[in-house]
């Protein structure tokens, strides 16, 4: 019962500390420190990762398992000792309430800072102990394994689009043949090494020294200097750019089909808002896969889809370029906003340059869906999943006009971007005829992060 009261008081003190810390622009890093303090870096489930990644034999597995047990015991003892220290702090604060926030925070932060330094030494000690028992070829595996271990545990620290993409995961999900994987093996080795350096540099700036950060907070100045913020953003950009660069390198090394599949997966994972399938893209694909339409109708739909994807690729590339330039500015502005307000100013309001382009993309989708409605009969169109969102309410309330082919409204012509062609389709079960004057070019693969036409 006595210990429960202590723990309750402890968490009250820690919560108070977090609340006070969260008033500063560095609150994100401080919350990460709190999370880091309360959980071990390595869990018993990681033993499998070590065993498989380093090809440990049975004897080595037993030794490493004992190392993990010792590490967990040391962590639990260290954290329990820190909790007891914080309990005593809580009791003292209750008996002798401090006159200032600093008086409340100082003993709490000192205890947490000491423990974080001790915990980081435990984490590093476990890795050094495992490395010490490796023999033969296992020693050569260590560097790649250590990179993988760090990458998988810290990749989620990314904040910029594209920063948290693990291309090894994309390769795994791409279901490449053994030959294809061997072709890009050297690229992945180079990527792993460069990314490891960039991530560790970013995390060193991001995490820093907890004791130094806490001392800075207690001195009354918790603001990150603008120079430090700039260094952190540059470090984030470096990680993101490495991912983008190797998306280009790896996809260009693979065959056209595998490369396009890899690129699409990676971009969708890194820049989800830009590269996820659009509503128009989904409904056009659905119509193209409908086997009940006459061959002529399907041919028109495929042509329509190809033209849409080509225009969509250009717009998406523009969004990608704008996002890569604008996001770092947003993060810098957000980091400095608290300092600006603190000095009596008003943070700069940034205009999102992607907003207008997203509107253009939405209008592009509407235009192509109108063309699709001109190819299909009203009954055929309304049967497509999600079709109702594209039909104006006035037409939905008047079934006789729903799905009126836009082609009739513009003299029977379908306009595909800059290309025009004639096309007509009969109602459900009928035959459609169509002849294109100028076939639109094949969809652009939009390779690379340079020119979209490269």
Residue 112, pLDDT above cutoff 60? yes
Q: Which of 10-19, 143-152, 255-264, 329-338 has the lowest mean pLDDT?
A: 10-19
Residue 211, pLDDT above cutoff 70? no
Give the per-residue pLDDT at 341: 74
Give the per-residue pLDDT at 194: 98
Percent of the chain that is helix, strand, coil (3-state, to 5): 70, 5, 25
Give the per-residue pLDDT at 352: 95
Going by pLDDT thresholds of 50, 70 and 90, the confidence category of residue 445 is very low
Residues contacting 343, CB < 8 A, separation 6+: none
**Residue 216 vs residue 323, higher pLDDT:** 323
Residue 27, pLDDT above cutoff 60? no
Give the per-residue pLDDT at 348: 82
Instruction: State what percent of residues in the chain have pLDDT above 70.
Output: 76
Give the per-residue pLDDT at 300: 96
Residues contacting 106, CB < 8 A, separation 6+: 218
Q: At what angle do helices 101-132 and 2-21 cross, to 10 degrees?
A: 100
Distance in angstroms (rounded) separating the CA atoms of residues 181 and 167 = 12
Give the per-residue pLDDT at 174: 96
Going by pLDDT thresholds of 50, 70 and 90, the confidence category of residue 220 is low
Residue 56, pLDDT above cutoff 70? yes
Q: Which residues of 272-288 are buried (b: 16+ CB within 10 A; e: fewer)?
A: eebbeebebbebbeebb
Going by pLDDT thresholds of 50, 70 and 90, the confidence category of residue 93 is confident
The helix (run of H) or strand (run of E) holding residue 39 is: none
Give the per-residue pLDDT at 8: 52
Give the per-residue pLDDT at 267: 97
The helix (run of H) or strand (run of E) holding residue 423 is: strand 419-424
**CA dist 432 → 53, 267, 418, 444 (Å):** 59, 37, 23, 28
Give the per-residue pLDDT at 108: 82
Say if residues 78 and 115 touch (Cβ distance below 8 Å).
yes
Instruction: Rounding to the nearest 10 degrees, give the CA dihedral for residues 144, 145, 149, 152.
Output: 60
Residue ranges of the domains in the chain?
1-135, 137-270, 277-436
Instruction: State what percent of residues in the chain have pLDDT above 90.
Output: 59
For residue 416, give the 3-state DSSP assignment.
strand
Going by pLDDT thresholds of 50, 70 and 90, the confidence category of residue 213 is low
Radius of gyration of the chain (CA): 29
Q: Which of 158-162, 248-252, 413-417 has the lowest mean pLDDT?
A: 413-417
Q: Which of 153-167, 335-349, 429-443 has the lowest mean pLDDT?
A: 429-443
Question: Which of 380-384, 389-393, 442-446 is most confident?
Answer: 380-384
Give the per-residue pLDDT at 13: 53
Give the per-residue pLDDT at 5: 44
Give the per-residue pLDDT at 227: 86
Say if residues 194 and 244 touch (Cβ distance below 8 Å).
no
Of the candidate CATH numbers 1.10.10, 1.20.120, 3.90.550, 1.10.3470, the domain formed by 137-270 belongs to 1.20.120
Give the per-residue pLDDT at 382: 92
Residue 311, pLDDT above cutoff 90? yes
**Residue 426 vs residue 89, higher pLDDT:** 89
Say if residues 250 and 152 touch (Cβ distance below 8 Å).
no
Give the per-residue pLDDT at 304: 97
Query: Minimal CA–CA distance to 321: which of 332, 309, 313, 310?
Result: 313
Average pLDDT, the chain: 82
Quickly list DSSP for 66-126: HHHHHHHHHHHHHHHHHHHHHHHHHHHHHHS--SSHHHHHHHHHHHHHHHHHHHHHHHHHH
User: For domain 1-135, which architecture applies?
Assistant: Up-down Bundle (1.20)
């Amino acid at each position: 019962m006595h210990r429960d009261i202590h723990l309750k008081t402890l968490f009250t003190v820690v919560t108070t500390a977090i609340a006070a810390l969260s008033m500063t622009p560095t609150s994100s890093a401080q919350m990460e420190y709190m999370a880091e303090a309360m959980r071990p870096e390595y869990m018993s489930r990681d033993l499998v990762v070590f065993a498989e990644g380093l090809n440990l034999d049975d004897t080595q597995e037993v030794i490493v398992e004992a190392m993990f047990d010792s590490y967990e015991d040391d962590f639990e003892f260290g954290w329990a000792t820190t909790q007891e220290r914080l309990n005593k702090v809580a009791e003292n604060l209750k008996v002798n309430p401090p006159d200032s926030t600093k008086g409340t925070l100082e003993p709490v932060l000192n205890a947490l800072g000491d423990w974080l330094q001790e915990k980081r030494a435990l984490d590093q000690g476990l890795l050094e102990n495992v490395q010490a028992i490796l023999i033969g070829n296992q020693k050569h595996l260590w560097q790649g394994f250590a990179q993988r271990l760090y990458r998988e545990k810290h990749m989620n620290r990314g904040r910029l689009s594209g920063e948290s993409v693990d291309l090894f995961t994309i390769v795994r999900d791409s279901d490449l043949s053994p030959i294809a994987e061997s072709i890009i093996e050297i690229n992945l080795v180079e990527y792993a090494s460069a990314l490891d350096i960039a991530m560790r540099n970013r995390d060193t700036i991001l995490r820093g020294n907890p004791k130094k950060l806490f001392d800075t907070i207690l001195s009354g100045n918790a603001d990150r200097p603008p120079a430090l913020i700039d260094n952190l953003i540059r470090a984030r950009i470096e990680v993101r750019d490495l991912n983008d660069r190797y998306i280009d390198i790896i996809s260009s090394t693979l065959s056209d089909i595998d490369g396009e599949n890899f690129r699409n997966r990676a971009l969708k994972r890194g820049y989800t808002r830009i590269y996820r399938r659009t509503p128009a893209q989904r409904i056009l694909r659905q119509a193209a896969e409908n086997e009940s339409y006459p061959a002529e109708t399907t041919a028109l739909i495929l042509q329509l889809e190809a033209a849409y994807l080509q225009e969509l690729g250009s717009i998406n590339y523009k969004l990608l370029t704008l996002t890569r330039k604008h996001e770092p500015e947003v993060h810098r502005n957000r980091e400095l906003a608290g300092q600006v307000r603190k000095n009596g100013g008003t943070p700069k309001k940034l205009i999102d340059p992607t907003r207008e382009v997203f509107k253009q993309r939405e209008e592009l989708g509407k235009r192509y869906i109108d063309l699709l409605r001109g190819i299909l009969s009203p009954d055929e169109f309304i049967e497509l999943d999600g079709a109702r969102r594209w039909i104006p309410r006035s037409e939905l309330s008047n079934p006789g006009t729903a799905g009126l082919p836009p082609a009739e409204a513009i003299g029977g012509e379908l306009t595909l971007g800059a290309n025009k062609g004639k096309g007509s389709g009969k109602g459900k079960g009928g035959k459609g005829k169509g002849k294109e004057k100028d076939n639109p070019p094949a969809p652009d693969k939009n390779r690379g992060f340079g020119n979209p036409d490269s």
